[in-house]
Structure 1
Amino acid sequence: MNIEKILNNNVVTTIGEDGIEKVVMGRGIAFKKKIGEEIEEDKIEKVFIIHNPHTSMRLQSLLNEIPIEYAEVSEEIIKHASEVIDKKLHEQIYLSLTDHIAFALRRAAEGLIMKNEMLWEIKRIYKKEFSIGMWAIRLIEEKLGVTLDENEAGFIALHIVNASLGQEMPDTMSITKLINDILNIVKYYFKIELDGESLSYFRFVTHLKFFAQRMFNRKQEINNDNSLYDVIRDKYQEPYLCVRKIKDYIQKNYDYELTEEEMVYLMLHIQRLISRKSE
């Protein structure tokens, strides 16, 4: 690999055989080097392959501005998150999370604490991602000597959710609000406390994540076979009435009409929730 651009002593770019620009990071990788010279393989610590040219340019700009340690910590968090949730994260997270960490550290140095208004919802809905966020702030303290609080763990969790769903952050916030509102409709309709540790709760929240993603992308799965809907509606009358409330809420607030198939899945999940609760 030959150097295409030198961003600083620790970051260069190169062009692969496929014509895609790659960002190469390593301590002293560009020290006393010139454009066109070969990159020393033993100094390469990370290669970022960002297919979106706009994102790649922004990442290059960011890596040119921040200490290499910030990018290393971000990379370690992303790797850990991918292993924990067992899913490849969208490449945008290399930019968004690294940028957020740099901003959080700058705020911490100035003594500024940003309150995460959705922290309670994040803890409730994204338990696994929040645990990764807590792991991340411990790593930041260990590697960089800066103590961040659980507000930042919540923000990191949202970046992970965002990358796992392939959504932009504002959409992720909208998805989180929608899920929380649906959970509250179920909670108050049945007058129960939902067990956030139960498998049925986890399955329901997982279903709601992908339902919300489809809803905001206006991608409905339409099945013209109504036989299952009729059976489930008649068998689980209380879950049906609860889903009617959810349907009315979504129609009023998001101008989105639930299909009968979507209602069936919601009824089944809610029935499982309340049956586990009664047991």
Structure 2
Amino acid sequence: MQIKQVLNNNVITVLDEQDQELVIMGRGIAFGRKAGDDVDESQIEKTFKLDDKEMNKRLLELLAEIPLSFVEVSEDIIQYARKHTNKKIHDNIYVSLTDHIYYAVERFQQGIAIKNALLWETKRFYPEEYRIGQHALSIIAEKVGIILPEDEAGFIALHLVNAQMNEDMPVMINITKFIQDVLHIVKFHFGIEYEEDSLAYYRFVTHLKFFAQRILNHRTQKDSDNSLFEMVKTNYSRAYACAQKVQSYIQKMYQEQLTDEDMLYLTIHIHRIVQKKEENS
């Protein structure tokens, strides 16, 4: 195995048998070496192979700029996350999370505090990812020697959610705001407080995550069984009236027209969450 490119003393690239580029890391693996030299395989600590060419390019740029220790911290967090969740985490997390942690530590050392405006919502909507984010802070403290504020646990949680949905951070922030706004509409329409540990609430938030993703990406959904929609609209008239308010909000904020299929599922989820609340009251 020969070196294709030396990024720094600790990072090189090579070509595998299929002529695909691999990123290889190891302390001092490139010291005194150049392209075309053989790789000392005993020094290999980590191998990356990102199928997305654009993501691979970003990873190479990042690894050339930051210390190896931050890649190791990020790797520890990602492995912990994959062990403690059954959700698929996209490889883009290696770029986004490593980059975020490096600059979060750098900002902290410069005395620059960034407040997380979505911390409360992140705790509510993504509790599993937030717990992983909290553990990530302890990993950073152990490896880097810096105790970052709780806000960073929320930021790390959103990076994990991004990697599950394979979305960029600004998109994830917009999705979270969308969920928050719709929940407020339903809450104030019925004058209720949510039971956030209930299955109905979990299902509703999960539906809103993917609903928001589609709305923000302007992906239209085709209508299917119109007779079912008419039945739901009649039988769940209170929930449908609330769904119409959500529809007006989406039209105003995102210039998207909801289909009967959208309104069908929205009405059913609203009905379930309100019915569950009223049953328990």
Q: TM-score, normalised by structure 1?
A: 0.94
- C-alpha offsets along residues 186-228 of structure 1, whole Å, 9 cap, x if unaligned? 1111111112222211111111111111112222331332111
State the match for 1:135 in structure 2: 135
2:22 alignment partner, SS class: strand
CA distance in 1, matches of 2:9, 2:252: 55
**In structure 2, what residue type is equivalent to 1:69?**
S
Larger mean Cα displacement after TM superposition, 41-50 or 66-75:
41-50
Larger mean Cα displacement after TM superposition, 141-150 or 47-56:
47-56
- C-alpha offsets along residues 19-78 of structure 1, whole Å, 9 cap, x if unaligned? 221111122222333322332333222211123334323322221222211101111212
1:258 alignment partner, SS class: coil
**In structure 1, what residue type is equivalent to 2:110?**
E
CA distance in 1, matches of 2:172, 2:58: 21
Q: TM-score, normalised by structure 2?
A: 0.94
Aligned residue pairs total: 279
State the match for 1:74 in structure 2: 74
CA distance in 2, matches of 1:190, 1:40: 66
2:3 alignment partner, SS class: coil
Q: Unpaired runs of 5+ in structure 1? A: none
CA distance in 1, matches of 2:276, 2:196: 12
How do residues 46-65 of structure 1 correspond to structure 2 at under 5 angstroms?
Answer: 46-65=46-65
CA distance in 1, matches of 2:235, 2:40: 68
**In structure 2, what residue type is equivalent to 1:128?**
E
Structure 1 vs Structure 2: percent identity of aligned residues?
Answer: 48
**In structure 1, what residue type is equivalent to 2:222?**
I
**In structure 1, what residue type is equivalent to 2:5?**
K
Larger mean Cα displacement after TM superposition, 168-177 or 23-32:
23-32
Q: Unpaired runs of 5+ in structure 2? A: none
State the match for 2:202 in structure 1: 202
State the match for 1:26 in structure 2: 26
State the match for 1:264 in structure 2: 264
How do residues 187-226 of structure 1 correspond to structure 2 at under 5 angstroms?
Answer: 187-226=187-226
CA distance in 2, matches of 1:82, 1:262: 32
